[in-house]
Chain A
Amino acid sequence: MRLLNLFKIAYKAIILNKVRTLLTMLGIIIGVASVIAMLAIGEGSKESIRATISSMGSNMVTIRPGADDRGPARGSGGNVQTLTLEDYEVIKESSELLSYITPVVNSGGQAINGSNNWPSTIYGVYPDFINIKVVGLQSGSMFTDAEVKSAAKVALIGQTVVDNIFLNGDNPVGQMIRFNNIPFKVIGVLEEKGENTFGQDQDDIVVAPFTTVQKRILAIDYLNQIMASAISEDDAPEAVTQLTEILRTQHKLLDNEDDDFTVRSMEELISTFSSTSDMLTVLLVAVAGISLLIGGIGIMNIMYVSVKERTKEIGLRMAVGGKGSDILMQFLIEAILISVTGGVLGVALGLGATVFIESFLHWPTSVALYSIVISFAVCAITGIFFGWYPARKASALDPITALRYE
């Protein structure tokens, strides 16, 4: 029997049973489409988290006082006072893996311009800060080492602060503001960075010389944090080890004592967050897998019923000379045609849904090739298997038994 004839027979059978074909396809279409869309959402959020973290400076290494409690987003060290400027100086001198480094003190407070005020956070840092955070300036310039030395009352402000205390649209550079009642001259405006993935507004910030904030605002002698930049992203893990050793020596810790500080690289943070979003992806995949399973069961039912329902037809085909293999091939070709068409439509629908989610719901999405391959393969294989299996049983019957089937 020529294959072309079998294709003709299978094609005619499909055309004759439009509704049944459509129902079978529907299971496949929905299964494939949902897997693709779900995985696109999972992958998309993962990529967006990664992108945010990278934009915060992927080489960044931070040292905080106090032992590691492994929370991803923590406060600024609270009341633990184990980090000092001396630590900073020792690290700066002895580590060759860092390109930039700055001590950090920070404090909440009110930024005031005339009658406008806005609650914000002031960071006392060295000029290296903007290189570590990879943030440019919209206007003005960074303060100098000399201004740090002299504890000059100058500050750079973020866009959110500008928006809330310079309501008339004046250029803030050169103007005076007050932070916690201490007057600062605005010498620059930081580039806008927007919200990060954790919903933190990165533009709600005032940056001033380290000494000014430490002495004039906080009046403390410890540090909230040390921020540094490894020479490259690859050096970051080694820098973490090195900094830990330096600080342990500096703090004269015995072998059996725990660190009284925490060194973290951005790389670590990235992996923490990608593992969180991996969990999200796993969850979405589970949901998609269930819909795929249900789709598969749908295919199975309809294929099974359709073969049962057509047992008489199978009997007739055998009575006029169809061999078991002809019958089997016919059903296999039918199943392949239905499954592949359904799979292609499912991929199209999945991609369409992804575009819709991206442009109307504004969720980040990213279509993974493997999701297309896997979902398509699963549906095609289920469809073909459950088309083939009952057909194989039917084709093994005696013609008269099949003809008699009610």
Chain B
Amino acid sequence: MKKDIIKIEDLKREFTMGTETVHALKGISFAIKEGEFVTIMGSSGSGKSTMLNILGCLDQPTSGDYEIDRVKVKALSKNELATIRNEKIGFIFQSYNLLARTSAIENVELPLLYNSKVSNTERRERAVKALEMVGLGERLHHTPSQLSGGQQQRVAIARALVNNPVMILADEATGNLDTRTSYEIMSLFQELNKTQGITITFVTHEPDIAMFSSRTIVLKDGHIIKDENNDTILSAAAELAKLPKEDH
């Protein structure tokens, strides 16, 4: 029996805008076990990002409980949340969010700069290793403007990996990329999930992307309407090979 990495109970999130209250999440409960690869789907505005931000400790729920790696998040101070984000979570954004005019290696080093347990030399080594893992060993000193969208997202993935997190949260990480690049990224995720046992939670709109994961949760209007395991998990590497060469 594997341990729960994420456990949420009756999670609610409301936004007040003037007199109006938007109920983005209306009581959501589920658990994600170590080593799972979960996709979260649902139409636009269904609350996917809102939920992922809470899972990533970037945002706080209005009510409900949230445990990450058996730590109750509600009880944590701002500084403790920062430490959790730094050590346990790798977050990947749709818009990459890299520091402009800053080299790939420096972008990847960023989380380690905020981790005082990591020395200067170890920081550099780990950043190089993470970039090599995402296939950018040759692009260490390129700045975001000198990289393609897919490459920028790989830098962002390397940044998410560099602190050896227990889970990776990705919000439409392939949303800005073409099919081939999306599959490349997905095959990278599958490999990380398989070889390193990293738990991955992945928000997407595209059903074919969801086929690469082991479980799919579907949201609608702030409720879970479907939560099921995939019987047939496709291999992204194999699908990539099937794509016609001149696809992009």
Which residues of A approach B to under 8 Å, CB–CB? 1-2, 5, 8-9, 12, 16, 312-313, 316-326, 398-400, 403
Contacts and interface: CB of A to CB of B under 8 A. Distances in A.
B53 A320 contact: no
A3 B56 CA distance: 27
B59 A320 contact: no
Given A323-B114, A326-B114, A398-B59, A318 B82 contact: yes
B111 A320 contact: yes
Contact of A325 (B79, B115, B159): B79
B78 A323 contact: yes
B164 interface: no
A323 B113 CA distance: 11
Interface stretch (B85-93, B199-207, B211-219): B85-93
Contacts of B79: 323-325
Nearest to B91: A319
A75 B115 CA distance: 82
Given A16-B101, A316-B97, A9 B113 contact: yes
A319 B85 contact: yes
A93 to B, nearest CB: 89
Contacts of B229: none
A16 B106 CA distance: 13
A1 B99 contact: no
Interface of B: 53, 56, 58-60, 78-79, 82-83, 85-87, 91, 93, 97, 99-102, 106, 110-111, 113-116, 159, 163
B60 A321 contact: no
Nearest to B59: A400
Contacts of B115: 321
Nearest to B80: A323
B179 to A, nearest CB: 28
B85 A321 contact: yes
B58 A403 contact: yes
A345 to B, nearest CB: 25
A322 B111 CA distance: 8
A322 B102 contact: no
26 contacts: A1-B116, A2-B116, A5-B114, A5-B116, A9-B113, A12-B102, A16-B100, A16-B101, A312-B97, A317-B110, A319-B58, A320-B91, A320-B114, A320-B159, A321-B83, A321-B86, A321-B111, A321-B114, A322-B82, A323-B114, A325-B79, A326-B114, A398-B58, A400-B59, A403-B93, A403-B97
Contacts of B102: 12, 16
Contacts of B91: 319-320
Nearest to A5: B113
Contacts of A16: 100-102
Contacts of A312: 97
B204 to A, nearest CB: 20
Contacts of A2: 116
A313 to B, nearest CB: 7
Given A2-B116, A9-B113, A16-B102, A320 B86 contact: yes
Nearest to A321: B86
Contacts of B97: 312, 316, 319, 403
A400 B114 contact: no
A9 B113 CA distance: 9
B85 A8 contact: no
A324 B79 CA distance: 7
A322 B57 CA distance: 13
Contacts of B86: 320-321
B245 to A, nearest CB: 36
A273 B79 CA distance: 63
A8 B112 CA distance: 13
Contacts of A325: 79
Contacts of A1: 113-114, 116
Nearest to B85: A321
Nearest to B53: A400
A93 B91 CA distance: 101
A313 B116 contact: no
A321 B101 CA distance: 21
